[in-house]
Amino acid sequence: MKQRRHYSSHRLSRDAERVSWLARGLSDSGSRTEDAWWENELALQIGKMLDNNQEEALNQALDRLQETHARAYDELADLIEAGVEGNMQNGPDGPRQTLLLALPILAWSRYSIPARSLPASLLTALRVQLKAHVLADDCRLALADFLYSPDQMPRGFVETRRFALQMENAALSDEDLSIPVTGLPETGHYISDLRYVLASVSVPIGHPMLRWQEVDGSRETALGQWQAQAGPGIQAILPGCNIQLLLPDAFFSAWRRADQEARGYALAATVSYLQAVLDLPASALRVVAAPYYEHRLVEWRISFGRQSDDTVLHGIVWPLLGIEDEGTDVTGEIDAILRQAGVGQILILDQQRLTPEYCDDCGAPLFPNAEGESVHTEMPELENDMPPVHLH
């Protein structure tokens, strides 16, 4: 689950009570037959709450279960996500199953990474490649004609369901959806970031939706083909960017996996970026990684500088995601990526317990120097083509 607000209210609304009771019932159920009953009741209740804009009640139920009943929390979170991204529709030729998909793209650039409308020619090409390599036979498809930054993605269960419904209606007639660009939030500028194409697939009930649900398909082949066939077209609308296409998948699952992949990608991208703008080999760089705690470990912060001086030039936050905790081997992963990238000196300050600090002026996170103090990044003046880097 994405991070959610916490509510202090003691009493749940009646609908929040019902949905938590059903989730507890499902998690304690003794048979698949009993499961099916609870799941059906939950799906109906969740669908009703999504239709009635009860975002807060759904979050209240999740918050309550997270504190009191971890298994029921997982069941409820799964079923809410399923209710948001999937649906049954009555098409002219019978009932159909739909699923909202996200097609994630990792990107880094020494210039800016666009979030923009997708040209008709690219939509046509993506449609052909998705149907050929990622989706099952006989599906109908809608693509949203916009390349989203994470800040611009639909937020919250209710808003995402509303978006999914529009996409489902377009998918029913195998047509793309035009996204009004006005009203979309501004995109932050980062050296390394994610972009998403959003799609909806619709198949007759009981049919496979994805290529790897067919006997001769696999996720690995689908990913390889997708990268090879769709990569060049997407690269063409992201000039000056290095990109890596991830496997398209159901909306929430693709989003979560992309968030995970983005951390390691940003590390390697930052090494490449600094090599390019400072005209230095990676062996001249020093990277410091330290764990940051708020009661418990919440994130690692990783700073980049030259071995020749103590200035921290750039930093990356590596948040812990999902069920990750102090037992997760984050340092092994960070160390392996930096070694692979050829970084000259890697300092892992795993004995430190730093507290997340931010700049009072600009709100930017502070990053660890080699002595384990949190300091502001200071990037030297470079050419005009830099993404904006905040300096005081």
Interface residues with Zn ion (CB under 5 A) are: 359, 361-362, 364
Length of the chain: 392
**Token pair for 145:** 């004609």
Q: Do residues 344 and 285 touch, judged by C-beta distance below 8 A?
A: yes
Taking residue 122's Cβ as centre, other Cβ atoms within 10 Å add up to 19
223-232 exposure pattern, b = at least 16 Cβ within 10 A, e = fewer: beebbebbee
CB nearer to Zn ion: give 217 or 356.
356
3-state SS, residue 298:
strand
From residue 304, how far is each of 259, 317, 379 by CA, in Å?
Answer: 21, 12, 10
How large is the angle between the packed helices 157-172 and 32-51, nearest 10 degrees?
Answer: 90
Report the C-alpha gap between 237 and 233 in whole angstroms: 7
Report the C-alpha gap between 268 and 276 in whole angstroms: 13
Q: What are phi and psi of 164, to 5 degrees?
A: -60, -35
Q: Do residues 187 and 152 touch, judged by C-beta distance below 8 A?
A: yes
3-state SS, residue 46:
helix
103 membership: H or E segment, kind and range: strand 94-109
Strands 192-204, 140-143: pairing kind: antiparallel
Question: 3-state SS of the chain: helix, strand, coil percent to 5?
Answer: 40, 25, 35
Q: Do residues 337 and 264 touch, judged by C-beta distance below 8 A?
A: yes
Least Å distance, CB 360 to Zn ion, is: 8
Least Å distance, CB 314 to Zn ion, is: 13
Least Å distance, CB 370 to Zn ion, is: 20
CB nearer to Zn ion: give 276 or 362.
362
CA proximity to 379, closest of 312, 299, 281: 312
42 membership: H or E segment, kind and range: helix 32-51
Least Å distance, CB 354 to Zn ion, is: 18
- Return all residues near 129 (Cβ < 8 A) that are at least 6 apart: 225, 226, 229, 230
Least Å distance, CB 67 to Zn ion, is: 36
DSSP code, position 285 = E
CB nearer to Zn ion: give 93 or 361.
361
Report the C-alpha gap between 34 and 297 in whole angstroms: 38
CB nearer to Zn ion: give 319 or 365.
365
Which residue minimizes CB distance to Zn ion?
359
Least Å distance, CB 17 to Zn ion, is: 45
Taking residue 130's Cβ as centre, other Cβ atoms within 10 Å add up to 24
CB nearer to Zn ion: give 267 or 375.
375
Least Å distance, CB 362 to Zn ion, is: 3
Least Å distance, CB 386 to Zn ion, is: 16
CB nearer to Zn ion: give 59 or 377.
377
Least Å distance, CB 358 to Zn ion, is: 8
Least Å distance, CB 147 to Zn ion, is: 30
Least Å distance, CB 359 to Zn ion, is: 3
